[in-house]
Homo-oligomer: A and B are copies of this chain.
Amino acid sequence: MAFLRIFLFVSLFSVAFSLENLDSHLLPRPLIIEYSENVESQLREIDDELRLRCASWRFAGEANNLNPWKTIPRECVEYVKEYMMGRGYVVDLETVSKEAGVFAKGVELNGDGKDVWVFDIDETLLSNLPYYSAHGYGHGLFDHVEFDKWVEKGVATAIEPSLKLYEEVLNLGFKVILLTGRSERHRSVTVDNLINAGFRDWHQLILRDSEDQGKSATIYKSEKRSEMEKEGFRIVGNSGDQWSDLLGFSLSVRSFKLPNPMYYIP
């Protein structure tokens, strides 16, 4: 949007300049002022329309209406940046955490230690925003090598509203199972990162093993949930930032979709 604005302003300056050169008395001053006011309001309209369309795109993603996508729309980069770095993302995280907490409190636990809440890790418990802010907020294809380097630093921060929910469900007596698309070879750095970020007492941490490579996240995670069920667990809640964390088979009683307009995992 900023780019568009600058581009249009520069174009207009050239127009204004050429008009001045032609004949400074040709166009009376009030007309020029009116013209420039029109342009300002036109720019605002373009800005508003772009914001509306990018919000609509983001909504469609959160409601699982979008077809598979690889990068965010080029014209929405600024919008996504504003959302992720501003209050919008934080408030949305708080809302989903609060609703999940209300649901969790209303569940009557069996008391046999078999009631489970599943959490995804990236953009659910841990934030990779420093990585994505340095990589165009989802503009540009996902770079496995670069992202792995970031993961191996082990410095992702807690998503605070999720940490709050995490502690709530633990205190209510749920068993917590972490189910992530991260690779088994990142187990140790992931454990350290989670502990440093304040997470504790999970029952199990499931990462992608060699046999899970190549599977879609939906299939891999459904299979793992199916194994939990076979072990006698009841999957009551499931929190994830991707619909592939939540859909497929062996579904939870209730699932909670955390916001993430930066990337899509099938």
Contact = CB atoms under 8 A, between A and B. Distances in A.
Interface of A: 49, 52-53, 55-57, 59-60, 62-67, 87-88, 91-92, 94-96, 99-100, 102-103, 255-257, 259
Contacts of A94: 56
- How many copies the complex holds: the figure is 2
Contacts of A63: 62-64, 96, 257, 259
A64 B62 CA distance: 9
26 contacts: A49-B87, A52-B87, A52-B88, A52-B91, A55-B88, A56-B88, A56-B91, A59-B62, A59-B92, A60-B92, A60-B95, A60-B96, A60-B99, A62-B62, A63-B63, A63-B96, A63-B259, A64-B257, A65-B95, A65-B99, A65-B100, A65-B256, A65-B257, A66-B99, A67-B99, A67-B102
A187 to B, nearest CB: 30
Contact of A259 (B59, B102, B103, B257): B59
A60 B102 CA distance: 14
